[in-house]
Every structure is written in C-alpha cells, then in structure tokens.
Amino acid sequence: SFAEESSTSNFKLYSTANMYNFIELDTRSGKMWQVQFSNKDESRFTTILNSVNLSPDNDSTTGRFALHPTQNMYTFILLDQINGKTWQIQWSFDADKRLVLPII
C-alpha cells in the first residue's frame, strides 16, 4: 500500500506488488529510481528509471509529481499534478524493459 506522506516531501517511496522493490520519486523533477532491498548484498541495489527532469523550465515545486499504480504490477502512471501531463513508467529486473513514455 502507499504510505501517506506529506506533500512537502522532496522524495517519496512507492511500493510495488513485488515486496522487495520500491520506486523512489523526486517529487520536484519526476526523476525515479528502482530500489530493491534484500538480506543478500548482491541482491540489494538502486538503479535509475528516469534521469531526465520532466518539469517544464526545471521548476522545482515540491510535490509536483506523483505515481499511481495500475493493474499491471510493473507499470505506474506518473502525473504532473500542476499541468496534468502523464507518463507510463515501467520498472523491471531487466534494464531493456524499463520504460518512461509520455502518454499523449
């Protein structure tokens, strides 16, 4: 489930349907990371899902971006809560299956 966090949080963690994986979101820029925890060092990692600032003119309004789950456990919708733009976000264990696609 999604933790209720303050709208003043610069970063938020969103759970996925996989108990070991979360998505970390920079709520100011839309930058995201897949975060996996484990008891084994070799299975614990953070990897980039999106390194591009999606905010127009690099506006750094805290809470601008939010993630919303879909029925597909690997797919979320990223919403720019100021201008309404949306992106399809897909996390994966395979780098070539990670996606950030604008929904036009």
Per-residue model confidence (pLDDT) at position 1 = 39
SS3 10: coil
- Decide if 30 contacts 16 (C-beta within 8 A): no
Does the pLDDT of residue 11 top 90, yes or no? yes
pTM of the model: 0.87
Core vs surface per residue 53-74: b (16+ CB within 10 A) or e = ebbeeeeeeebbbbbebeeeeb
CA distance 48 to 23: 10
DSSP-derived pairing of the beta strands 11-15 and 65-69: unpaired
Structure tokens at 54: 């999606």
Read off the pLDDT of residues 33-92 as tens digits, 9 standing for 90 and up: 999 998 887 777 889 999 999 998 888 899 999 999 999 999 999 999 999 999 999 999
Question: According to DSSP H, which parts of 1-104 are helical?
Answer: none
